[in-house]
Amino acid sequence: MNLRRAPAALLIVIGFVVLLVIGTSLPAPATPVFTSLGAPTTPFVPQLDFITSSWFCPGVPIGATGLGGSVVITNPNDTPLSGQVTAFTDAAGQAAIAEPFRVPPRDAATLDLATIQPNGSYVSALVEVTGGGGFVEQIATDPAGQAVAPCANATSNNWYFADGYTKDSSTEDLVVTNPFPDDAIINVDLATASGNRSPAALQGYPVKGHSVSVIKIDSIVRDDEVIAAGVTSSRGRIVVGRAQRYLGTARAGFTMNLGAPALTDQAWFADGETAAGITERYSIYNGSANDVTVQAVFLGVPISAAFPNDTQVTVAAGSVATLDTANVAGLPAGRHGVVFSTTSVGSIIVDRAITRPAGTGIATTVVLGQPPRAAVRRWSMAVGSQLQVNDILVVLNVDNQAAMVTVKVLGPGGEVPVPRMENIPLGANQVMTLGLGDASAVGRPLIVESTSRVYVERLLPRDPNLRGRSGSFAMPG
């Protein structure tokens, strides 16, 4: 062996051993993750700073007299808010239209969607806020009244509705928005009191990129009192709203709701009322593959031997069932909250339909129950009341301790308590209604703060010239 080569060979061997030792001590290579989307939930006001925040609005009707709608962007910050709103339509061949916006500090901006995108029968919107911040809701307008709905924080592969209605001449539209450039493929499943169905025409249904597609449920299921719907996207992520026009003897009015992007095991409601002339019905949709038993517990009412508060409803897999409070034995008259719960995780959603007297007629409103994570101490509303009216807010305390509730208005000076609406006591597990009697709060964004966790619903006038109210939840956060 050549002795001159020994040091070089020795260095090679030593280097190999060092690499082997280092290699055995290194951690296993990590799988790269480019993004992680949180579980879909009902809309909320983000409390973190983002480079950009996006809001997906379910859509408003246009194209005829009395139809229209807008998005309301609220800026609670001390600096201006800017970004872009993109309007999508169901008009064939019509491209999406984008426009910039700017909202002054501690103010709100209302953007008319029909002005931005005048073509089609429905227009939806994507609101992108540069630098994050703010919150967004939409107002849909129909001759039968206005309906307020929050805009979604994100798109989803699944959307659910429990209380569809096509009785008499009532109509129901599912408004599907694909805000992305690639086509989406969806499947629509329906559940009625008479059975479940998956219409062949709605399986593998395409929704073009940057567009809206309208599915007329009343042309598929006619003259039915309860229709639940599940919309699943097998390709692409979407946003789905539901517009209903009630025409008949049992219901009247107009609603436009954002769907539920996920199933839950609890659904909470702050508003409920038992009284002469009021019809209150809950529709429970079981979107899971197993039968479930759902417990309904009414809150803010006394428990007695006459009212044990132990109502249960069994819902078959993929089906819908209803609970009419007129059939709940012993339920005391007056206001109440309610929670629906099941031991089957991620299986149900619940819609509440209330029809109340409105002048010489009636007005119906439908509201989606909130999941348990929505119970917080602060709720925000981009859309407040345009009139000074009683019972504008319904607040349910879900904690086992008394709370102090304050209603604030957002104005040039920031968040300011509304006169005579500061530190209002609310008992444990109780519900109360609050009026809006001060002119300073009319037409302004509202905030409700509580020392305990609460749920907050609105009962907004459905139109300055129409009697009756339109119900909707505020946004937690």
Query: Are 329 and 245 contained in the same domain?
Result: yes
| Distance separating alpha carbons of residues 140 and 59, to the nearest angstrom | 8
Residue 49 is predicted with a pLDDT of 64
User: Averaged over 448-452, what is the pLDDT?
Assistant: 98
Does residue 32 sit within a domain?
A: no
Residue 289 lies in a domain: yes
306 vs 332: CA distance, rounded Å: 9
Instruction: Report the mean per-residue pLDDT for the chain.
Output: 92
Q: What percent of the chain has pLDDT over 70?
A: 91
Tell me: pLDDT of 1 over 60: no
The number of distinct structural domains making up the chain is 3
Residues 203 and 90 in one domain: no
Residues 224, 166 contacting (CB under 8 angstroms)? yes
Whether residue 103 is found in the same domain as residue 218: no
8 Å CB contact between 474 and 448: yes
Torsion of CA 370, 375, 380, 386, to 10 degrees: 60
Percentage with pLDDT > 90 across the chain: 86
Instruction: Determine the average pLDDT of the residues in 88-107.
Output: 97
Whether residue 198 is found in the same domain as residue 291: yes
Query: What are the tens digits of pLDDT across the range 124-146?
Result: 999 999 998 999 999 999 999 99
pLDDT at residue 465, rounded to an integer:
86
* Residue 267 structural domain: 158-368
Q: Which of these three, 341, 368, 395, is where a domain ends?
A: 368
Q: Please, what's the b/e burial string for 199-217 (b: 16 or more CB within 10 A of its CB; e: otherwise)?
A: eeebeebebbebbbbebeb
Interatomic CA distance for residues 15 and 460, integer angstroms: 77
pLDDT average, residue stretch 446-467:
95
Asked whether residue 30 is domain-assigned, the answer is no
- The pLDDT assigned to 38 comes to 59
Same domain? For 364 and 399 the reply is no
Asked whether residue 328 falls in the same domain as residue 188, the answer is: yes
Comparing CA positions, the residue from 256, 91, 292 lying closest to residue 174 is 256
Task: For residues 187 and 118, state if they share a domain.
Answer: no
Residue 3: inside a domain, yes or no? no
State both tokens at 233.
Answer: 């996207």
Please state the pTM of the whole predicted model: 0.90
CA dihedral 462, 468, 472, 473 (to 10 degrees): 120
| One domain for residues 194 and 222 | yes
Domain end call among 150, 181, 210: 150
| Tokens linked to 15 | 């280097």
Alpha-carbon distance 449 to 214, whole Å? 38
Whether the per-residue pLDDT at 25 is higher than 70: the answer is: no
Q: Which of 87, 120, 150 is the last residue before a domain boundary?
A: 150
Phi, psi for residue 218 in degrees, rounded to 5: -70, -15
Instruction: Answer yes or no: is 9 within a domain.
Output: no
d(CA 253, CA 194): 25
Instruction: Please name every residue paired with 307 in a beta bridge, in sequence order, or none if there are none.
Output: 304
Q: List the structure tokens of 150.
A: 């929050």
Which residues does 383 contact at the CB level (< 8 Å), separation at least 6?
A: 72, 137, 139, 148, 445, 458, 460
Structural domain contains residue 18: no
Tell me how far apart the alpha carbons of residues 231 and 194 are, in angstroms, rounded to a whole number.
Answer: 20
- Same domain for 171 and 134, yes or no, is no
Q: How many CA atoms lie within 13 A of 97 on its CB side?
A: 16
CA-CA-CA-CA dihedral for 316, 320, 325, 331, to nearest 10: 30
Mean pLDDT of 43-67: 89
**Do residues 330 and 212 share a domain?**
yes
DSSP 433: E
Q: Are residues 116 and 220 in the same domain?
A: no
Residue 1 lies in a domain: no
pLDDT of residue 304: 84
Structure confidence at residue 82 as a pLDDT band (50, 70, 90): very high
Work out the pLDDT band at 4, boundaries 50, 70, 90. Answer: very low
Q: Which of 24-38, 86-100, 235-249 has the lowest mean pLDDT?
A: 24-38
Do residues 380 and 445 make contact, with C-beta atoms less than 8 angstroms apart? yes
Whole-number pLDDT of residue 464: 86
Is 185 inside any structural domain? Answer: yes
Q: Are residues 268 and 416 in the same domain?
A: no
CATH number of the domain that 315 lies in?
2.60.290.11
pLDDT given for residue 50 in this prediction? 63
How many whole angstroms separate alpha carbon 338 and alpha carbon 458? Answer: 16
